[in-house]
Amino acid sequence: MICAAEFPTIPDGKVSALNMKRTMRATRGSKATGGSPVEPYVDLPSGIRTIVFTGVKGAGKSTLASEVGSDLGLSAINYSDLLLEVTGLERKDALDQLSDAERLDAIQRVQQLLEHRWADDSAVDQLLLLTNHLSVISDGVIWTPDRNVHACLRMIALCVVFASPLEILQRRKNGSTADIAHALSEIDEQQKVNAIEAHAVADIYQVPLALFRNASGAPPKREALAWVTGLLQARRRGR
């Protein structure tokens, strides 16, 4: 885990290169009417609690959650993977092509899937590692959901995985990017937005916040493993 001072910050509290917009509703709206492209979250079953792993695409959050979950015997689920499962699509970028009605239908099916999958554990305080996003980029604009919707995730802790924009771009294997400079700037700006969101969400929901730098040759698995282990021990003592 790193100190908060090392996490990307916004000079003077502003996002300069991109126009950050906050949505006041947790629904997916039409771009023509200025609605948000951020889909509503699934309301997880009442017996579920989550440690949320977040970060921009390519930061390494899914890999980190999967590795930590495997070592500790915890289920790690990826929200995008659940959408792929219920839609039958194979690529995550195909999700962007869904119509509003198709996406809302997929979200409802994810809800049903989760309720069925953990039906026997509805009365148990089961802990999952959930990979999700604090922001998305659509048409060059960074969007974030209303912070109230994070209650649906039933989180007990939040961690943000970040990396240098160049490493993230390389992990995305986006060799066809025409404007590398713009892509790097966009990644940098989104990580800054995530920094604001992470601190705000952790403060609102009064949950621990961890910040992990995922650098090539030095993945933060050991630090993340120790952090989650500490959370598990604290939960056991509190029962």
List, for residues 8-56, the tens digit of each pLDDT value: 443 333 333 333 333 323 333 333 233 455 555 667 777 788 999 999 9
Nearest to 163 by CA among 194, 128, 209: 194
Q: Are 225 and 72 in contact (CB under 8 A)?
A: yes
List, for residues 164-175, the tens digit of each pLDDT value: 999 999 888 755
Distances (CA, A) of 37 to 40, 79, 136, 143, 207: 9, 16, 8, 7, 27
92 versus 227: which is more confidently predicted? 227
List, for residues 124-152, the tens digit of each pLDDT value: 458 889 998 898 887 788 888 888 888 88
pLDDT at 30: 31
Q: Are 159 and 38 in contact (CB under 8 A)?
A: no
- For tokens 């001072």, name the residue: 5
pLDDT at 120: 56
pTM for the structure as a whole: 0.78
159 versus 46: which is more confidently predicted? 159
Separation CA 16–CA 14 (nearest Å): 6
Distances (CA, A) of 203 to 49, 136, 200, 208: 18, 21, 5, 9
Nearest to 52 by CA among 39, 64, 40: 64
pLDDT at 161: 95
DSSP character for 185? H
Separation CA 64–CA 218 (nearest Å): 12
Separation CA 55–CA 134 (nearest Å): 7
In the CATH scheme, what is the homologous superfamily, with its name and number, of domain 16-77+123-238?
P-loop containing nucleotide triphosphate hydrolases (3.40.50.300)
Q: Which residues contact 86 (CB under 8 A, 6 or more apart)?
A: 106, 109, 110, 113
pLDDT at 21: 37
109 versus 176: which is more confidently predicted? 109
Pairing outcome for strands 136-138 and 141-144: antiparallel
Q: What is the mean pLDDT of residues 59-77?
A: 92
